[in-house]
């Protein structure tokens, strides 16, 4: 079965600092990986998705993620944190189109002024 593991339930960074949120996947087939963000009291919004066209994926709001098969990782990064980035971030994987997503437990990002 496919699964993802997010290391760190809570990450705190200073405004302007690098954001690194970790996600490792377990999959016997090419994984279809996604990062979603959930702002307080809102639904989930897609940040980016891995499509195999490139290992470095750029998403919205300056976020990007790098797919590393050798490390089975798909970590999310942003060079410079902004206060508005404070939210919960979820890594997810699916086995095929039109199938349920399997989510990690989420990482809450706090940004300190």
Partner 1 sequence: GAGVSQSPSNKVTEKGKDVELRCDPISGHTALYWYRQRLGQGLEFLIYFQGNSAPDKSGLPSDRFSAERTGESVSTLTIQRTQQEDSAVYLCASETQGGGYYNEQFFGPGTRLTVL
For residues 2 and 73, which CB has a smaller minimum distance to partner 1 in the complex?
Answer: 2
Cβ at position 28, least distance to partner 1 in Å: 15
CA distance 76 to 42: 21
42 binds partner 1 (CB under 8 A): yes
Tell me the H-state helices in the chain: none
Q: Which of 23, 82, 84 is nearest to 48 (CA)?
A: 23
35 binds partner 1 (CB under 8 A): no
CA distance 37 to 91: 9
101 binds partner 1 (CB under 8 A): yes
Cβ at position 99, least distance to partner 1 in Å: 8
């Amino acid at each position: 079965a496919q699964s993802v593991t997010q290391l760190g339930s809570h990450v705190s960074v200073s405004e302007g600092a690098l954001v690194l949120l970790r996600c490792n996947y377990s999959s016997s087939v090419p994984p279809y990986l996604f990062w979603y963000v959930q702002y307080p009291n809102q639904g989930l919004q897609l940040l980016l998705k891995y499509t195999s066209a490139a290992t470095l994926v750029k998403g919205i709001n300056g976020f990007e993620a790098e797919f590393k098969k050798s490390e089975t990782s798909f970590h999310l990064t942003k060079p410079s944190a902004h206060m508005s980035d404070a939210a919960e971030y979820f890594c997810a994987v699916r086995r095929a189109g039109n199938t349920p997503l399997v989510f990690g437990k989420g990482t809450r990002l706090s940004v300190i002024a």
